Amino acid sequence: MYWNPEVECAPREEIERRQFESLRGLVANLYDNNPFYRGKMDGHGVKPGDIRCLEDISKLPFMYKDDLRDNYPTKLFTVPTTDIVRYHVSSGTTGKPTLVGYTREDLEYWTESLARALTSVGITDEDTIQVSYGYGLFTGGLGLHYGAERVGASVLPSSTGSTERQLELMVDLGVTAIACTPSYLIHMIEVAGKMGIDFRRDTKLRIAVLGAEPWTDAMRKIIEESAGIRAYDIFGTSEMAGPMFTECGEQDGIHLSWDMVYPEIIDPETGEVLGPGEEGELVVTMLKKEALPMVRFRLRDVTAIIEGPCKCGRTSPRIRRITGRTDDMLIVRGINVFPSQVEHALLQVPELTGHYQITVDRIGALDVMKVEAEIDPDAFSDKMEDLMSIKKRAEGIMKKYLNIGVRIELREHGSLPRYEGKGSRVKDMRSMK
Ligand code: ADP
Ligand code: ZN
């Protein structure tokens, strides 16, 4: 099922032609009307006339999160504030939060993009969707809310928190879909267990749309099996509008609406554009945004473009699920480690759950990495030998996947923190010293 088949399944040549037209118009307009972009382009020695094909986008300078911070709150806006109909603020995961603004048309595109995305995971006007992302300054709640209303689903705007009440409502209303962070859904499943609610038996939930933080296929498997649902990844950032794009039914990469965004993957060190399949930093140019345009904005999220058509019939470009952010990458004894790799390795051990915390410290001259992991209560044993064997196995798997020694500390079920929004599972003590 497609929401907008003409766009979602457009022929490749048409996509490229129309993307180029949008890009050319965007660059000319910004150069003529906006001192920030004109200054940036002049500083880089590039004029709108130099953009003669899509690939010429690489001649344009990058934009960084700091450009938004330095021009806080509204200096980068290209419309008068009277044309702004909504503001949001980024979560501030990597520093001071940034402010974003939307015109009516901007909200319209965001909602259209979510209508396409929710349709592609199988949500229709017959679904009841619980939006358990934070409502308010964070983009997740309101974004998903309007997207779900657009497809005609019945929306339960529950936001985060009051988990027991949310679960009661889920059962009473026969909620069929939920949107939240993966961290929050595993927390909900656990609280449900304590309340005697079994997701498979007592709820009608069939689809989860999960994002706002990195999560792995191993975590997906745990969620899908314990809740008896299909779980899809959703991606977006406040600079793009908010959560916007999801996987389709194939669960094989996130489809990006080509009429709204032009993605590039670059080498984060050199800035050089990489080819399909090569992993690097995602850079986006938003082709339709009015209030706060984004040209070659460096997201710092690490992924790759997937080449070739998707089995679902959509022709829009796809990216692999996000491995992590360049700024979350840990360098431990000279080896690069993303928290998602730790998660992936850890969850190969069936006795461990999705609850874990990573700590990196420096003792003397040596980096040490510790992973605390909760044991599944069903696998819990008082026997020291059993626990030692789980620990050994987990450490062996870590070594194999990460190429460094990691100390595993087993923890009792329920002893590590739980998260209602984005999880925060990494503590790097080295940066605090
Ligand atoms: P902040 O950058 O302050 O966290 P946002 O609230 O805009 O601001 O969050 C966007 C960021 O969240 C993305 O850049 C990305 O790092 C992360 N993110 C969002 N969705 C996903 C996802 N599905 N997988 C991995 N990371 C995600
Ligand atoms: Zn697809």
CATH code of residue 406: 3.30.300.30
Segment 155-166 shows an average pLDDT of 98
- How far, CA to CA in Å, does 249 sit from each of 115, 118, 126? 15, 10, 18
Say which ligand is closest to the CA of 281: 1
Say which ligand is closest to the CA of 121: 2
pLDDT of residue 380: 72
User: What is the model's pTM?
Assistant: 0.96
Q: Are residues 351 and 318 in the same domain?
A: no
Q: Are residues 264 and 375 in the same domain?
A: no
For residue range 125-150, what is the model confidence (pLDDT) as tens digits?
Answer: 999 999 999 999 999 999 999 999 99
pLDDT of residue 114: 98
Which numbered atom of ligand 1 lies nearest the CA of 95? 3
Tokens in use for 247?
A: 């996987």
pLDDT of residue 183: 96
Q: Are residues 83 and 101 in the same domain?
A: yes
Helical H runs in 34-80? Answer: 35-44, 65-70
Query: Over 80: is that where the pLDDT of 433 sits?
Result: no
Query: Over 90: is that where the pLDDT of 340 sits?
Result: yes
Q: Are residues 246 and 353 in the same domain?
A: no
For residue 50, report the distance from its CA to the centre of ligand 1, in Å: 33
Q: The tokens 């949107």 sit on which residue? A: 179
Q: Are residues 160 and 187 in the same domain?
A: yes
8 A C-beta contact, residue 176 and residue 128: yes
Residue where one domain finishes, among candidates 283, 307, 326: 326
pLDDT of residue 103: 98
Segment 39-45 shows an average pLDDT of 98
For residue 282, report the distance from its CA to the centre of ligand 1, in Å: 12
**pLDDT band for position 385 (cuts 50, 70, 90):** confident
418/289 Cα distance (integer angstroms): 36
Cα torsion for 211, 135, 107, 280, to the nearest 10°?
A: -30
Q: Are residues 70 and 190 in the same domain?
A: yes
DSSP codes of every residue in 230-270: EEEEEEEETTTTEEEEEB-TT-SSEE--TTTEEEEEE-TTT
pLDDT of residue 378: 84
Closest listed residue to residue 60, CA positions, set 35, 23, 13 = 23
pLDDT of residue 95: 79
Residue where one domain finishes, among candidates 326, 361, 383: 326
Number of domains in the chain: 2
Which numbered atom of ligand 1 lies nearest the CA of 92? 3
Measured from the CB, is residue 184 less than 6 Å from ligand 1?
Answer: no
Measured from the CB, is residue 91 less than 6 Å from ligand 1?
Answer: yes
385/136 Cα distance (integer angstroms): 49
Residue where one domain finishes, among candidates 326, 347, 382: 326
Q: Are residues 120 and 193 in the same domain?
A: yes
Strands 230-237 and 207-211: parallel
Measured from the CB, is residue 213 less than 6 Å from ligand 1?
Answer: yes
Q: Are residues 228 and 179 in the same domain?
A: yes
Tokens in use for 81?
A: 């504030």
Query: Over 80: is that where the pLDDT of 390 sits?
Result: yes
How many other CB atoms are there within 10 angstroms of residue 365's CB atom?
Answer: 5
**pLDDT band for position 151 (cuts 50, 70, 90):** very high
Q: Are residues 310 and 374 in the same domain?
A: no
- Give the range of the structural domain holding residue 35, as residue numbers without chain letter: 1-326
Q: Are residues 155 and 220 in the same domain?
A: yes
Q: Are residues 98 and 217 in the same domain?
A: yes
8 A C-beta contact, residue 88 and residue 139: yes
